[in-house]
């Protein structure tokens, strides 16, 4: 059966595509079989860390907080997708694609329903869409802090220029004082926006406490979780976070061009639709073609009201979603707790050794995350070329160095880095 996009859309609005095809029984049986499969981690191939075999890059990579290397399992998933695009030219992509597999994998990772997750192009696109959906502006402002993502701070700063109330809390000993946060949430505040883990310093917010404080004042919380999700356990139900978003190319171990935006279902009614594309429609009926029923020249349509139908506008990156399904499947197989267990002694050693050779810790030890960050005057001028020549990859800026270990790193990697930084 060959369908154009409009026909596919009508089917989507009416219900399952499988029910409209002659192979419905076989398709439904396949879905049931898939649902009966054990979740990742039960019955999947065991992974021993450090896992260098699946990440065969050159050199020493201690920069996953910038961009995580792809694993061979991701390469295989992308190749499978490309083979399908090459050979199955009549595949009905609008309704038969990797989206649901990837969304279900992400939702399972954060203890959410797949219905509450939308696919967007990037983390900041998600935050921008949310800012519009919440009607942030004069009389409805934001409380944030300087540990938030730089482009997010600029985005809210531009809104402040147009009259939106904005409070950026000052840091106290590389942390945020939650009593100051509580005082900053006044009646004119409509959102608390933070980075769960700061890309600047590696500080990790206590997301549950932040949400409790904001909810006491009736204000929702948005968390940029790209620097933490899958590197640390995240349970959106337990924390109470209202909105969060993460691109897949950092700790989700996927590729660029895909992000997941979580919306707590009780908050949907407070959001307005700010963009609309075909993915927001549940039906469209034209009235201008031969044999169409009479009606408005522009047609008749109905809109969906789920997180995906409000925030997904156009065709997403199917290949990126295929890779994300594979990468998150790998993470869930290894287990986030095991990833933390493997990484912790590596970062602890850096926290113990680098201050001895002049590096000033910026990451609070009581708020550990997947990265450690140090201040060092002239860090880029002194170390950048030497690190590159040695094939050791970290994030180095003018006076700061950020080191982030992942599933492929071991003690020898840390030894070589310390040796170089001490030379």
How high is the mean pLDDT of the chain? 91
pLDDT given for residue 24 in this prediction: 28
Long-range (24+ apart) CB contacts under 8 A made by 24-33 are none
Q: Is the pLDDT of residue 46 over 90?
A: no
Q: Is 116 exposed, middle or buried (0-12, 13-18, 19+ CB in 10 A)?
A: buried
Query: Per-residue pLDDT tens for 94-107?
Result: 889 999 999 999 99
Percentage of the residues of the chain whose pLDDT score is greater than 90: 87
Nearest to 75 by CA among 329, 339, 332, 322: 322
Q: Is the pLDDT of residue 35 over 60?
A: no
* Helix (H/G/I), strand (E/B), else coil: 331: helix
Confidence of residue 368 (pLDDT cuts 50, 70, 90): confident
Query: Per-residue pLDDT tens for 276-306?
Result: 999 999 999 999 999 999 999 999 999 999 9
Q: What predicted TM-score, i.e. pTM, was given to this entire model?
A: 0.90
Which H or E run includes 78?
helix 72-87
Which H or E run includes 9?
helix 5-14
pLDDT given for residue 349 in this prediction: 97
Domain ranges, ordered by start, for the chain: 99-332, 335-421
Under a CB-based contact definition with an 8 Å cutoff, are residues 319 and 82 in contact?
yes
Q: Where are the beta strands (DSSP E) in 30-176?
A: 60-61, 117-120, 141-144, 166-168
Q: Is 91 exposed, middle or buried (0-12, 13-18, 19+ CB in 10 A)?
A: exposed
What does DSSP say about strands 221-224 and 243-247: parallel, antiparallel, or unpaired?
parallel
Dihedral sign computed on CA atoms, order 15, 19, 24, 28: positive
pLDDT given for residue 14 in this prediction: 36
pLDDT given for residue 44 in this prediction: 61
Tokens of 101: 């597999």
Confidence of residue 273 (pLDDT cuts 50, 70, 90): very high
Q: Which residues are 392's β-sheet partners?
A: 60
Instruction: Write the CATH number of the domain with boundaries 335-421.
Output: 3.90.1150.10
Mean pLDDT throughout 78-91?
A: 96
pLDDT given for residue 422 in this prediction: 97
Domain 99-332, second-level architecture: 3-Layer(aba) Sandwich (3.40)
Query: Per-residue pLDDT tens for 394-413?
Result: 999 999 999 999 999 999 99
């Amino acid at each position: 059966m060959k369908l154009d996009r409009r026909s596919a859309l009508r089917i989507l609005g009416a219900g399952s595509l499988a029910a409209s095809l002659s192979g419905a029984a076989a398709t439904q049986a396949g879905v049931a079989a898939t649902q009966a499969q054990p979740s990742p981690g039960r019955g999947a191939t065991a992974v021993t860390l450090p896992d260098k075999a699946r990440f065969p890059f050159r050199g020493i990579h201690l920069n996953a907080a910038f961009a995580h290397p792809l694993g061979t399992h991701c390469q295989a998933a992308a190749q499978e997708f490309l083979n399908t695009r090459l050979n199955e030219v009549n595949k009905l992509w609008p309704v038969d694609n990797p989206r649901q597999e990837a969304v279900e994998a992400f939702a399972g990772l954060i203890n959410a329903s797949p219905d509450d997750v939308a696919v967007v192009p990037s983390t900041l696109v998600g935050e921008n869409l949310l800012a519009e959906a919440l009607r942030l502006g004069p009389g409805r402002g934001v409380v944030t802090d300087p540990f938030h993502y730089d482009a997010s701070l600029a985005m809210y700063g531009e809104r402040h220029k147009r009259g939106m109330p904005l409070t950026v809390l000052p840091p106290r000993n590389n942390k945020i004082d939650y009593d100051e946060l509580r005082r900053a949430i006044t009646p004119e505040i409509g959102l608390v926006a933070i980075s769960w883990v700061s890309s600047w310093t590696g500080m990790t917010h206590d997301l549950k406490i932040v949400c409790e404080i904001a909810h006491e004042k009736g204000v929702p919380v948005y968390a940029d979780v790209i620097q933490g999700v899958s590197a640390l356990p995240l349970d959106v139900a337990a924390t109470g976070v209202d909105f969060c978003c993460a691109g897949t190319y950092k700790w989700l171990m996927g590729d660029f061009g895909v992000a997941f935006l979580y919306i707590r279902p009780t908050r949907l009614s407070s959001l307005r639709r700010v963009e609309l594309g075909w993915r927001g429609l549940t039906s469209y009926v034209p009235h201008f073609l031969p044999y169409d029923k009479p009606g408005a020249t522009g047609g008749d349509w109905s809109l969906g009201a789920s997180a995906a139908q409000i925030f997904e506008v156009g065709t997403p990156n199917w290949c990126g979603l295929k890779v994300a399904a594979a990468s998150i499947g790998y993470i869930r197989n290894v287990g986030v707790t095991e990833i933390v267990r493997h990484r912790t002694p590596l970062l602890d050693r850096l926290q113990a050794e680098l201050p001895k050779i002049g590096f000033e810790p910026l990451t609070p030890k009581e708020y550990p995350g997947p990265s450690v960050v140090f201040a060092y005057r002239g860090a880029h001028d002194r170390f950048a070329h030497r690190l590159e020549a040695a094939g050791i990859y970290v994030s180095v800026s003018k006076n700061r160095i950020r080191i982030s270990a992942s599933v492929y790193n071991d003690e020898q990697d840390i030894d070589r880095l310390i040796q170089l930084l001490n030379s």
